[in-house]
Amino acid sequence: MSDAINDALQRPLASLRLSVTDRCNLRCRYCMPEDEYVWLPRTSILTFEEMERLTGVFAGLGVHKVRLTGGEPLLRHDLPTLVAMIAHNPRIRDLAMTTNGLLLAKHAAALRAAGLQRLTVSLDTLRPERMLAFAKSARHADVLEGVAAARDTGFANLKLNTVVIRGFNDDELADLIEFGRRHDAEVRFIEYMDVGGATRWSMDQVVSQREMLEVLARRYGPIEPVHPIGGDDRAPAERFRLADGTTFGIIASVTAPFCRTCDRSRITADGTWFLCLYAARGIDLRNPRRLGRGAGVPHPGNVAGSQRPRGGAATRRSGPGCPVPDRFAARRPPPRDAYTGRVTSPPDPLSTLWRGGMHP
Ligand code: 5AD
Ligand code: SF4
């Protein structure tokens, strides 16, 4: 359609991630490693009505996939109501959510009844003691219960996200595949990305896609790539199949950035629109709306060239399809981490304005 959102590279922005809260009840070391953060004041968080209106405007511009994210989205009170409001829009053909699963058992049925179509649950480890050490939570059983509830509620294409970190969970790849198989869920292993802030990322902690495949091939024998048949070739995960038919995905954002096919933009909980997950600057969509000036969404044609120069940004390198190859090499890191939405400096977390965690 002629008014679809395209960026300067003619990449359609068909997929919108909507952060419904900046808060989280976990403290994953790779995302929110500090004990305390200063959260956004409640008054600056978008209301459900504002989110519904914004997604409506974006749907009119060609967005047909919406993913609810956080922080942890289930910390937002009465989330099924928002789900129903968005699901009501016939242009939104795919409505999904990424969650850490802690509160999922309680809400899975209501979410499904409200029209949520797909769920991704983060599950980095099957060992409770590792979760305690890594995410400061003793509630591993709640996550497992959440996964089971999602499956029992009938969510199709249930996915499990595992960030693979050397020395933390890189010995659990096969166990996680087995777990996924038992729960009708497809595991997606994610290369550990540098999201800035206090996360102390280093390249030696990254387990590359290649290494993951080698480890799994030693255990399972030959692994073949699954090519999307009429499927979503914009999905960041490459999918693979074991000899017994079990499939899994790998998101190789560090060693194989997928900028060329990226179709995502995101709105933070306070209504800032980022055209690239790693863009240094976002566009405030909330205040024009609250002030009642028009639809409040600047047409991307006016901004995309300057605001959406790259993707696959976890590498802080450009990827294929990025028009400004050395932008971040020359000028890193940006003051606000647009993937998490977090201001990454100054490092003191209490002086950090948090705009949403990684469940992007
Ligand atoms: N590197 C890779 N993946 C990350 N996630 C959060 N932080 C990072 C990181 N530094 C993952 C979460 C979640 C998904 C949305 O992003 O585990 O599953
Ligand atoms: Fe962990 Fe997701 Fe919370 Fe970040 S937002 S701390 S990745 S559960």
**Is 72 near ligand 2, meaning CB less than 6 Å away?**
yes
- pLDDT for the residue numbered 79: 98
Q: Which two tokens stand for residue 330?
A: 């020359």
Q: Is residue 5 part of a domain?
A: no
Residue from 72, 103, 354 to probe ligand 2 pocket by mutation (most atoms less than 8 Å from CB): 72
**Is 199 near ligand 2, meaning CB less than 6 Å away?**
no
- pLDDT for the residue numbered 292: 60
Q: Is residue 241 part of a domain?
A: yes
State the Cα–Cα distance between residues 251 and 269, nearest whole angstrom.
25
What CATH code is carried by the domain that includes residue 114? 3.20.20.70
Number of C-beta neighbours around residue 101 at 10 A: 28
Q: Are 240 and 213 in contact (CB under 8 A)?
A: yes
3-state secondary structure of 216: helix
Ligand nearest to the CA of 123: 1
Q: Which two tokens stand for residue 61?
A: 């511009």
**Is 195 near ligand 1, meaning CB less than 6 Å away?**
yes
Q: Is residue 92 part of a domain?
A: yes
**Is 360 near ligand 1, meaning CB less than 6 Å away?**
yes
- pLDDT for the residue numbered 263: 84
3-state secondary structure of 189: strand
State the Cα–Cα distance between residues 274 and 281, nearest whole angstrom.
7
Residue from 25, 100, 119 to probe ligand 2 pocket by mutation (most atoms less than 8 Å from CB): 100
Q: Is residue 322 part of a domain?
A: no
Instruction: Specify the length of the chain in residues.
Output: 360
Ligand nearest to the CA of 194: 1
3-state secondary structure of 203: helix
Q: Is residue 144 part of a domain?
A: yes
Q: Which helix (H) or strand (E) holds 334?
A: none
State the Cα–Cα distance between residues 266 and 61, nearest whole angstrom.
14
DSSP 259-296: GGG--EEEE-TTSEEESSTT-S--EE-HHHHHTT-SS-
- pLDDT for the residue numbered 355: 39
- pLDDT for the residue numbered 250: 96
Distance between the two ends of the chain, CA-based, in angstroms? 27
The pLDDT tens digits for 233-274 are 666 789 999 999 999 999 998 888 777 778 888 999 999 998
Which amino acid residue places its CA nearest to atom 2 of ligand 2?
Answer: 359
Residue among 252, 237, 258, 234 nearest 319 (CA)? 258
- Cβ neighbors of 49 (< 8 A, separation 6 or more) are 85
Ligand nearest to the CA of 33: 2
| Domains: count for the chain | 1
The segments of the chain whose pLDDT lies below 50 read 1-2, 295, 300-360
State the Cα–Cα distance between residues 6 and 235, nearest whole angstrom.
17
- pLDDT for the residue numbered 198: 75
In sequence order, what are the beta bridge partners of 16? Answer: 66, 265
Q: Is residue 29 part of a domain?
A: yes
Ligand nearest to the CA of 137: 2
Q: Is residue 151 part of a domain?
A: yes
**Is 358 near ligand 2, meaning CB less than 6 Å away?**
yes
The pLDDT tens digits for 190-237 are 999 887 777 889 999 999 999 999 999 999 999 999 987 655 566 678
3-state secondary structure of 160: strand
Q: Is residue 326 part of a domain?
A: no
**Is 101 near ligand 2, meaning CB less than 6 Å away?**
no
**Is 162 near ligand 1, meaning CB less than 6 Å away?**
no
**Is 337 near ligand 2, meaning CB less than 6 Å away?**
no
Q: Where are the alpha helices (DSSP H) in the chain?
A: 48-60, 79-87, 104-114, 128-135, 140-153, 173-182, 209-220, 286-290, 300-307, 327-330
**Is 143 near ligand 2, meaning CB less than 6 Å away?**
no
**Can you give the residue range of the structural domain that contains 168?**
15-261
